[in-house]
Amino acid sequence: MPRLAAGKQRKSAKILFICVGLLGAALIADLLWASSTSSSARSFTYKPAFDWPPPKTSSDSFPLPVSSNHSAKVVADKDKKDEFHGRILSKTFADLPGPELKWEKMSEAPVPRLDGAAIQINDELFVFAGYGTIDLVHSHVDIYNFTSNRWGGRFDMPKEMAHSHLGMVTDGRYIYIVTGQYGPQCRGPTAHTFVLDTKTKKWEDMPPLPVPRYAPATQLWRGRLHVMGGSKEDRYTPGVDHWSIAVKDGKVLEKEWRIEMPIPRGGPHRACIVVDDRLYTIGGQEGDFMAKPNSPIFKCSRRNEVVYSDVYMLDDEMKWKVLPPMPKPDSHIEFAWAVVNNSIVIAGGTTDKHPVTKKMILNNEIFQFQLDTLKWSVVGKLPFRVKTTLVGFWDGWLYFTSGQRDRGVDDPTPKKVIGEMWRTKLRLL
């Protein structure tokens, strides 16, 4: 979206997990995780708020995504596992150092939410949808006012609108909302798209996306609404398709979506940002939870995921360019960013799973990407690790709300779904 001066400031090292020499053990790719025992798999669940079952056996496994240079290497030798786990690789191994910041706890959102969406327009943060628990999804908007520092102005979303994993972007008044997951657990996606006039709070339909997607990268660029990547209908398989449609002042100017150049890597949960007429996609993953086959409630079941630090950019040449990667892989950041002083700022997310326990690992860094020098740095630490958090920036303050936080200082695995709102005075490099 265009970064309005007063508008929403919206939105490497590869990690080497193993001390090869210390263990002298054979390294293999982490492809084997799917066949790991159910005892280690137990820890995959999101308990207590989210009871997502672990993968059971290798027969439960799924075609693996494209292998990655960023993926963890794993010690195969089972006998060495505990020793390896206990002594060498701490649970917090993935945390990067960064300045401690002073955080202020603001008033809590009316509901906790995970995988919701947020759009800032001037001093308001519009917060949409999301899971309250794995069996309950929200279908309304809450608004936080950065001037009064209060929540208010709740209104309903259309019944047909997705409840999580939405693509969303604003031009400063209208919010365009595309596709996403419809319903709780790991239900299917909808191709429905909408536009919201934030002045009148009126919704309109737009032409549906050619096919539904989960958590696609979505932006406004050169008068067109662009939608790309995300997961396909099974929630797992990365899509690389890229479509666009001309829009202006909340109106769609064309009958059909145009097919655009595919993106270099598909998959959900990345940040997609336009600054100075350049479109950036950052981080994200391939693979995600998917519905258990034949489950009447579409019960979520974990599958392999590979998280990326990749940064791609589109400019005048209309060719994807590879830019310096993030300091570490980072996913679940689609609404966790703001543009401040010609830098992109990203808060939290998830990184590669723990190579031994396979548990999901959350991030607590605030990353800065300087767009003039293309340099990444860690400019601060969040009060805890959190994924799919919703970020805003106003009057020198960086705010974040919602998402799923860690179990504690020493345990970076996901636990509680939160509605808390926090802020800190940001100082960039």
Ligand X SMILES: *[C@@H]1O[C@H](CO)[C@@H](O)[C@H](O)[C@H]1NC(C)=O
Catalog residues that contact ligand X under the rule CB under 6 A. 67-69, 122-124, 145, 147-148, 340-341, 396, 426-428
Structure-derived torsion over alpha carbons of residues 138, 159, 178, 275, reported in degrees to the nearest 10: -50
Tell the smallest beta-carbon distance from residue 22 to ligand X (Å).
25
Task: Provide the H-helix boundaries in 274-405.
Answer: none
Is the CB of residue 99 less than 8 Å from the CB of residue 381? yes
Residue among 357 and 368 whose Cβ is closer to ligand X? 368
Structure-token pair, residue 374: 């293309």
Tell the smallest beta-carbon distance from residue 393 to ligand X (Å).
8
Site of tokens 């290798």? 58
Nearer Cβ to ligand X, position 347 or 418? 347
We find the least distance from the C-beta atom of residue 148 to ligand X, in angstroms, to be 4
Q: Least distance to ligand X from the beta carbon of 429, Å?
A: 8
> Residue 286 carries which side chain, given as an amino acid letter?
E
CA gap 105, 399 in Å, rounded: 10
Strand partners, 397: 394, 425
3-class secondary-structure state, position 250: coil
**CA gap 219, 358 in Å, rounded:** 33
User: Closest separation between CB of residue 398 and ligand X, Å?
Assistant: 8
Place of tokens 């520092």: 149
Nearer to ligand X, 290 or 338 (CB): 338
Beta-carbon contacts of 295 under 8 Å, excluding residues fewer than 6 positions away, are 185
- Contact between 147 and 123 under an 8 Å Cβ cutoff? The reply is yes
**Min CB(153)–ligand X separation in Å:** 8
Q: Toward ligand X, which CB reaches closer, 222 or 425?
A: 425
- Residue 243 sits at φ, ψ, to 5 deg, of -125, 160
In the complex, the smallest distance separating the C-beta of residue 71 from ligand X, rounded to whole angstroms, is: 9
Nearer to ligand X, 24 or 396 (CB): 396
Residue with tokens 């056996």: 57
Rounded least distance, CB 302 to ligand X, Å: 23
Q: Give the nearer residue to ligand X in terms of CB position, either 115 or 171.
A: 171
Half-sphere exposure of 188 (CA within 13 A, CB side): 11
Neighbours of 235 (CB within 10 A): 25
Quick one: 88 or 143, whose CB is closer to ligand X? 143
3-class secondary structure, 312? strand
Output 215 or 426, the one with its CB closest to ligand X.
Answer: 426
* CA distance to 202, 223, 391, per residue, from 8 (Å): 20, 18, 10
What is the DSSP code (8-state) at residue 48?
T
Nearer to ligand X, 46 or 146 (CB): 146
Closest to 391 (Cα-Cα) out of 351, 361, 360, 424: 424
Least distance from C-beta 107 to ligand X, angstroms?
13
- Closest separation in Å from C-beta 125 to ligand X: 10
In whole angstroms, give the CA distance from residue 305 to residue 64.
Answer: 8
Angle (nearest 5°) at CA 18 between 13 and 20: 120
Residue (55 or 283) nearer to ligand X, CB: 283
